[in-house]
Structure formats: C-alpha cells, structure tokens
Structure 1
Amino acid sequence: MPYRYFYDTEFIENGETIDLVSIGVVDEHGREYYAISTEFNPDAAGEWVRRNVLDKLPAPGDKRWKDRSTIRDELYEFLVSPVRKKGGTHPGERVELWAWFGAYDHVAYAQLWGTMPALPKALPRMTKDLRQRWDDLGRPELPQAEDHELHDALGDARHNLRRWRTLEKQRQSVGWKN
C-alpha cells in the first residue's frame, strides 16, 4: 500500500526560477506539516502573489518560518517516518505525493534538495496529479475550498485530500482499477 501525501506549495516565479514561499502537506491519517521559507525575496513577487499569498502568511516571528535546509530536513522526516515505522525496507516505493497541477509543486518541492539527482532515494521522483485524475474520471463535482484556505499552502493541501477522497469514491463507483 502506498502512503499518500497531499501537498501544495506557494512560490514566486519569473519564468526562469521558482522560489519557494511555503509548503503544506497532509497525509491520509491527519498528520500535517507546514513551513514558510525565510529565504524568498518578497520584492520579486508579482501583485497577484503579494495579494493572494504573501498577505495571508503568519507574522515573520511565527515559528513556522524556517530556512530551506530546516524545511528540507523536517519534510524528509515527515514523509519517510511513517513508512519506516511500518518496517518498510524501500520507503520510497511506498510514498506517493499528490497535488493539483503537480508539476509546479514538484519543482518547488524537489528544489529543496538542489538538483534533481540530489533528491533522496526514499522520496518519489514525481508527483501524481489530482487535476489529471479529475479529468480522467470525467470531471465529477468536487468539494469547494473554504475561502480562508485559498492560496494558503496548508489549506490547499487539506483541500487536495478532500478532492482525492471524492475522486476515489468516483473511481470505485465506475470500477476503474487505478
């Protein structure tokens, strides 16, 4: 059985680089991780990111503000520790990452380790895409996000878990194997 994580990142991008602002992750069992990077440049953010993301972040003194290396280390432990506790010998084969428009989020997440080859073997090399799953299942009605969740990485991650649960019910009702 895979151990599924649903996540979202907020980031600043300029067409050449993606600069992580925050990451929120939830698993199927209710565990959560949320961190805000102390290393992004808010001056590089466009108006939309300033209004919809930066204005929603907790105050800079909040303990969730962390440097990227701390985020990387904590995130790694958060992702692999449940698999290790179950006695998995190859935890990377069991960890699944899911996101809405997963390609964007995967780049922001993977860059915490630097280059793609530096990503630890215990972590997936791809993020499964909820948006594609939704398309494949005929675009069934999905739960709406709460207003306070929009463009908040942890709120969006929670919403991704709700989306996945709805899509799983749809998948099972149509007899789709996977």
Structure 2
Amino acid sequence: MAIIHRDNRYHLSHLNSFDWRYTAKASGKRPERAYKFRVTFSMHCFARKPLPGEQIAKEMWYRGPRERRAFCFERYRLSHRLPTIIRSLGERTCYRTAHGNFLTVELTDEEGERIEYEIYFDVTRASRRGWLNLTVQSAYRRTRDDEVRRLGKRKIRRKIHLDVIAYNRQLNTMIRPKR
C-alpha cells in the first residue's frame, strides 16, 4: 500500500504487522518469562484528523475500516521508527493512561533534535494460543497545543513495565493501579 502525492510514493510497508518475541529477565522472585506478540499498527500512526475548515486534497485521504483521515507527512516520517521502538519496549519506560491503554515516549528524532513522540498502544490476548496482540493505536509528535489542552486534564500516569502488562494480559487479569 502507498499514498501517491505529486508523483511521490509514500509506502506503508514499514508498518506491516510482524511477530515479535520478548523475554523478560528474571527479577527478584520472578522467573524469566518469554512472550510472543503479533504487532500491528493503526492508520493513526501516519494519518491525522483534519483541522476545522482545512481543505485536504483528494489523494491525501486515507480510508480505514471505520474512518478516513488525512495523510500526515510528519507522522509518516516518524512512523519509520515505530518497529524499532516497539522492539525495544521491554527496555523502555511505559505509562498507563486513563483510557486503559499504554504510552511510551521517544525523545529524539533522527536528526538528534529533542522532540516528544508519543506512542499509544494496547496489549490483548490473541486467538493464537500463547500469543498476545500488541496494537500501536496512535503515534505523533507532542506539540505545545497538546500540552495546553492537557493542562486541564492533569492525569497522573503510572509507570509500568512491558513484562507486567504482558503477564497480566496473558492471564486475562486486570491491571490495577498502584496505591
């Protein structure tokens, strides 16, 4: 699949789903655990909601199964990093959100510029025995507007590690917030 704009092709093959195995190292009383994930990416990783009144060229629309969104050059450019970032989730700090999904933040872009690239994902049990689904729901650069909009919503995010997420999802148990 590709988006074609002004004779340029923007391929989406870097966001093809893939299988990933992650081993959580033993820690304290916890034994080493191995997990198998089927990783998928939503269109929100490279497309955005249009701004009010914004005119979008016909070829810049991307239609998904439930909605259509405008292709976003910045999200597309940053999305090339997603497979590598996801494969490093076990070493990253993740946060729980108020919506029940999870978040990790990448802090630099490929030019070394400091940015905040928010990556929202969820983990669910797969129909394949012993497997989990890891769906990257959205990924975008945090802007000043995002910070201002969130000031009124000040939600405390709790740190959580991927092995805790995977373990609980595999057992189909609720992940309770720490008190």
Interval of TM-score (by shorter of Structure 1 and Structure 2): under 0.3
* TM-score after normalising by structure 1: 0.25
Structure with the bigger RCO (C-alpha within 8 Å, sep 6+) is 1
- Which protein shows a greater Rg? 2
Higher percent of residues as strand? 2
* TM-score after normalising by structure 2: 0.25
